[in-house]
Structure 1
Amino acid sequence: MTVEISAQCVKELRIMTGAGMMDCKKALQQTNGDIDKAVENLRQKGLASANKKSGRRTAEGLIESYIHAGSKIGVMLEINCETDFVARRSEFHDLAKNIAMQIAACPQVEYIDIPSIPQSVIIEEKQIESGKDDIFDKPANVQEKIVEGRVNKRLNELSLLDQAFIRNPDITIRDLINENIAVIGENIQVRRFVRFILGEGLEKSNQNFSEEVANMIKS
């Protein structure tokens, strides 16, 4: 019989070890909810070291590019590690490619993580949610909770590291990076990214091909 594991226990173990969410849940299930044994379980698998490595300096890495099928969406990503040796490893390249694909697949993502979202954006989102008609008739304390929940949801949508990984929705991009830190043994950080969408910001003409040819003949 599978032991029911609370979200709070998973969160606590994740904070203690830096391991991925699903890895923490599995470790707790395998140890019948015993956190100490779960920590040991994760350490044996090499998954409890990501948090300890998060403060190390990352000066190496690579710039990854990804062009989606049809060549209408492109992404450039800088991802860093500690040594040039790791930067050349296939696992690191695969991670970079997966993250670049994730960015291409998530048009709402604009920032690396929630702490990097400017305060001005957060204030604007709060103003938008506070002004919606569907909460006007609710008590002030209820309105506040609704706005907070909606804003938090919006911030998660904007944050790359909080996205569910497109190839395994059970984990986030943060979990994916932590898993690779555990395997590779070095700190890994996404530094910056940019997404290109063909024609973005340009006013598109509605003129069709036959009209264009007709205009050329007249001139």
Structure 2
Amino acid sequence: MAEITASLVKELREMTDAPMMDCKKALSEVDGDLQKAEELLRVKFGNKASKVSSRVAAEGLISIAISNDGKQGAILETNSETDFCAKNDEFVSFTQKVANAILESNPSDIDALKNVSIDGTSVEETRSNLVGKIGENISPRRFISGTAGGKFHSYLHGGKIGVLLDLDGGDDELGKDIAMHIAASKPKALDESGISQDLIDAEKRVAIEKAKEAGKPEEMLDKIATGTVNKFLKEVTLLNQAFVKDDKQTIQNLLDSKGAKIHNFTLFVVGEGIEKVESDFAAEVAEASKV
């Protein structure tokens, strides 16, 4: 059997963009024949996506697309398994193309998005091919798109936090400032009407239990709980939050001073709500180094 050298594996990787371990396995299967190994990997690319689809994809990128007039907007989260993949140029390009496609086609959900065309190929086929090249589970996870009541503004922080803001009135500077504020302060809703009663009740119960533990008299418990809930609502509702660039005024004060109004906003944080699986990177490297 021919020796599978590191340089041979590297050459095959450069030819195919396939992961190192797959290149090594392919060369072993065909006794070091570079051409046959390349053909083998091309055949396997289509199957690659299904093999890695069960792996947790909790890293990724937020992408935003807004029409020239600011009336149409879309925000998308696309997940990958590692931050390294999220910085890959082809991955970055793919996510932006998908966001642009959402803006143009307005699919109803993630399943409908799979059939939308980008560069003459469906999103799903393009995704599958990219999974084959990079060797990681890649998946558009969620998106929001629609028409603005005012004008869309956006902010991206390192590709990990994304904000799409529908602002009526004001100017681009105000839109950027408020979008940045949302990314920094992470409000749960625009105002109190957007906070669920279940969440409010939970805050009240916690406040009452804490007051009891602190030895507060029974007749004071409701008053203490009400104050705690009111403080909580100010902290988690955008209009009541202190502006990050000037904590002497709230976002509502800022809007009033500019004659502006917020219709709504969307805040995406990469991997939010996904349980990440910790891996032993050293062990993976050691395994990959075995011939």
> Structure 2-normalised TM-score?
0.45
Determine the structure 2 residue equivalent to 1:47.
none
> Does residue 63 of the first structure (1) align with residue 172 of the second (2)?
no
How far has the Cα of 1:134 moved from its partner? 4.6
Determine the structure 2 residue equivalent to 1:170.
248
- Note the residue ranges of structure 1 that are not aligned, 5 or more in a row: 1-58, 82-90, 182-187
Is the CA contact (8 Å cut-off) linking 1:122 and 1:151 kept in structure 2? yes
Q: How does 1:30-49 map to 2 (within 5 A)?
A: none
Larger relative contact order, structure 1 or 2 (CA cutoff 8 Å, min sep 6): 1
Is the CA contact (8 Å cut-off) linking 1:63 and 1:79 kept in structure 2? yes
Aligned partner letter, 1:141:
E
Question: Structure 1 residue aligned with 2:164, among 57, 61, 76?
Answer: 76
- Greater share of residues in strand: 2
Determine the structure 2 residue equivalent to 1:132.
210
> Does residue 146 of the first structure (1) align with residue 224 of the second (2)?
yes
Q: Decide whether aligned partners of structure 1 residues 80 and 165 sit closer, same or farther in structure 2, where only a CA change above 3 A counts.
A: same
Is the CA contact (8 Å cut-off) linking 1:135 and 1:143 kept in structure 2? no
- Separation (CA, whole Å) in 1 of partners of 2:212 and 2:290: 56
> Does residue 214 of the first structure (1) align with residue 286 of the second (2)?
yes
Cα shift readout 1:78-123 (whole Å, capped 9, x = no counterpart): 2234xxxxxxxxx42111111111111113x101012332323222
Determine the structure 1 residue equivalent to 2:267.
195
Determine the structure 2 residue equivalent to 1:102.
181
> Structure 1-normalised TM-score?
0.58
Secondary structure at 2:275's aligned position in 1? coil
Moved over 6 A (4+): none
Q: Decide whether aligned partners of structure 1 residues 98 and 135 sit closer, same or farther in structure 2, where only a CA change above 3 A counts.
A: same
- Separation (CA, whole Å) in 1 of partners of 2:182 and 2:218: 37
- Separation (CA, whole Å) in 1 of partners of 2:160 and 2:278: 19
Secondary structure at 2:171's aligned position in 1? helix
Is the CA contact (8 Å cut-off) linking 2:149 and 2:166 kept in structure 1? no
Identical-residue share of aligned pairs (%): 39
> Does residue 113 of the first structure (1) align with residue 191 of the second (2)?
yes
Cα shift readout 1:141-184 (whole Å, capped 9, x = no counterpart): 21122111111111111110111111111111000000000xxx
Is the CA contact (8 Å cut-off) linking 1:114 and 1:159 kept in structure 2? yes
Aligned partner letter, 1:103:
I
How far has the Cα of 1:192 moved from its partner? 1.9
- Separation (CA, whole Å) in 2 of partners of 1:116 and 1:197: 19
- Note the residue ranges of structure 2 that are not aligned, 5 or more in a row: 1-147
Q: What RMSD over aligned residues (CA atoms) do the two structures have, in Å?
A: 2.3
- Separation (CA, whole Å) in 2 of partners of 1:103 and 1:115: 18
Q: Decide whether aligned partners of structure 1 residues 217 and 124 sit closer, same or farther in structure 2, where only a CA change above 3 A counts.
A: same
- Separation (CA, whole Å) in 1 of partners of 2:222 and 2:213: 9
Determine the structure 2 residue equivalent to 1:92.
171
Report how many aligned residue pairs link the two structures: 144
Cα shift readout 1:20-73 (whole Å, capped 9, x = no counterpart): xxxxxxxxxxxxxxxxxxxxxxxxxxxxxxxxxxxxxxx7421211111x3322
How far has the Cα of 1:198 moved from its partner? 2.1
Larger radius of gyration: 2
Is the CA contact (8 Å cut-off) linking 1:63 and 1:78 kept in structure 2? yes
Secondary structure at 2:150's aligned position in 1? strand
- Separation (CA, whole Å) in 2 of partners of 1:60 and 1:153: 30
Secondary structure at 2:248's aligned position in 1? strand
